[in-house]
Amino acid sequence: MNELTTAVDCGLIFEYNGYYMPAYKPEYVAEREAGAVRARLLMKEAYKSAAIIANFPFVSSVCISGSLSKGYAAEKSDIDLFIITEKNRLWICRTLLHLYKKMTFLQGKEHSFCMNYFIDESRMCIDEQNIFTATELATLIPAYNEEKHRELLQANKGWLVNVLPNMAWNTDIVTTSVIKKGWRKLAEPILNLLLPKYLNIALMHITNTLWRAKWKRKKYPMQDYDLAMKTRWYVSKNHPLNYQKKVLGDYTKVGTASNIAAAL
């Protein structure tokens, strides 16, 4: 709290009724509280979405992410989901899930399935090790297979404790009952006969080629592409708004101003 008090005293941030904000706008507090109510109502739908995704082939874990995992939802908020896949199956899993998402457009449910981050369970240490990604990991809410979520935290704990040292990074082993059922139980053995390692990489290259062409047509700044739409065999990100770049830029500005104020 000392740092927050210092930041308020220096005029770097503002406080109102126990809330802190970059500009003194009390109306932000009313919106934040309304967003918290919306988030509580939306969580039930988020768990339903996670349960559907869990029935798809090669899904190891599903976590709720984005603003919803931080207890806030805008009036038309998406349900952002972080998905861990089985080894060397990420792009098969992702392709099947996004084909399903195309079908949800017919029901107007596409905002309930914003699957914008996939990671392979064999390489769960995040490449971008900064305050933004640490916050995202700290606020993930496991909705399917909590044990795999704990493994994710354990894989990143070495750098997380340095970025957010006051966070209780609970990585104790838990036992989660994971039963493969439905069409997943039938589909996985069939897909495993189709040279899955090669199919996985082929789908990655096809997706990357289509994405690059799409975003070039839309005049997207391609110097930001590799971070915002990261495409590797072990990770798939689809963050065209690139909040990470914006948040880290603002964080650096506040940090610089705080250092200047402390030196005066």
The DSSP-derived string for 141-154 is EEEE-HHHHHHHHH
Report the range of poorest mean pLDDT among 65-74, 140-149, 239-248: 239-248
With a pLDDT cut of 90, the percent of the chain lying above it is 66
CA 176 to chain centre: 22
Q: Indicate the burial class of 44 (C-beta count within 10 angstroms; 0-12, 13-18, 19 or more).
A: exposed
Taking the whole predicted model, whether its pTM rises above 0.85 is answered as yes
pLDDT by residue (tens digit) across 209-241? 999 999 999 999 988 898 899 999 999 999 888
pLDDT by residue (tens digit) across 123-179? 999 999 999 999 999 999 999 999 999 999 999 999 999 999 989 888 776 766 677
pLDDT at 142: 96
Cross-sheet strand order for the sheet of 80-85: 141-144, 59-64, 80-85, 114-120, 235-237, 231-232
Q: In the chain, where are the structural domains located?
A: 2-263
